[in-house]
A and B are shown apart, each in its own frame.
Chain A
């Protein structure tokens, strides 16, 4: 099995053309990026609003839990069937799955900002939006990005499964391999999917290091070690 999988990776035919690894990886990343972008546009403003005003939190958390309880393949298939069996339909399914982790991370991030800091922000004369952008968002960033990382892991895995309803990407190797009982191809598809997930997560971890303000990281360190 291992030898066959290695042989699959060694076969030049698997590295070129529309069915080759580079093309499939790009396709896969494309679905993930598209679904993530749409999910961010929907989830971040909602998460910020609920975190900032403290209103609607119960609804947000409840809805998130319901979506999380749904079987991912079921969601993707449902939208595929509802929306005339097109690729966009599968992407909509992915978006639905990516929204809850991003929204939860954003909401929790804003919510977790120290109440004294929020109070001080109003107390020095910041208006609502100034407080949100100048104080709450920078401090919430680590948790927002934590939500994004969860969403990306979820998306990479689900996009692979979505090949079942005709989507391209790395899931094709799983589906096509199963169809012709070529298990080396199935394993190769699984390995590639996992590797992509790891690489994207590492990239986001790097991004997190760059964009999270230094003072916020220092404060986190102090908190975890106890006050200085």
Chain B
């Protein structure tokens, strides 16, 4: 094709014996600069087009014409505006663009809210989410009931896969974190206790801290970031893909099928992980002890003497609740996610934030109760 010199796009409105004529000339190309519009745009569709001087064009030209035609179209008037004088290609494109009338009903006016309305909306949303948490908890209890009576339906295979994911596969990270926590506790404790020549009490300190709080806390927080988030993302994308609807239409209760195995798996595995974390923490303390001259046997005896069965079971007891909280907030947020990929991300964030907050609040509650009960 010979390289033509491109001229800038120009549109001119003229009146020819009472009829509006739109003269189009130049090259209407995306890179060719903004169109120069001469004459005043009328509030009617042009009766005719004059395109003798028109050069090349891409979509910018039909877009320009269409935008004028749409802006002057009368609502409810289905008559097609005349397209005389347009070159055949352009005319064909315009006919296609006008073939389906604009769906005026569909247009959404962006909602404008005053501050008061926003406040109201926020309060309603907060209340709604409280309700949805309550409803979800209720449903979980019912589902547990169905499970206990053997009427809940889910695939055992799914359950074991989830058990593996939130159990065995979490071991490395749980080991690392609880080892380091045990190490830190022992080091910090030893610096102070050594002042009194009471280094041996490092064993008590590490044992009590791990068994009562740190073991279960760290494990729960790791699991909500790891597994709670995974639950929310998994169920959220199932929701977005209508996979949950597909379950429903096959007669599966999504609650039994998706939430129950996750809930059971985590309630089962979190206590075990907690026990394991406690053991690793104690082991780390023992290593530090050995480094500062406490023989492991002595360390062990001291630990066993301080920590009775009651104290050893406190953390594990709490972990049952924490496991339920993590699984439920992950599943709740996933099941209530919106339909877009972004909403899956939001659901995941909310699940983690909600479960960590709930864990900390629950833990303070437990601390208060245990103090009152003097255990």
Whether both chains belong to one complex is answered with no
A-binding residues in B (CB < 8 A): none
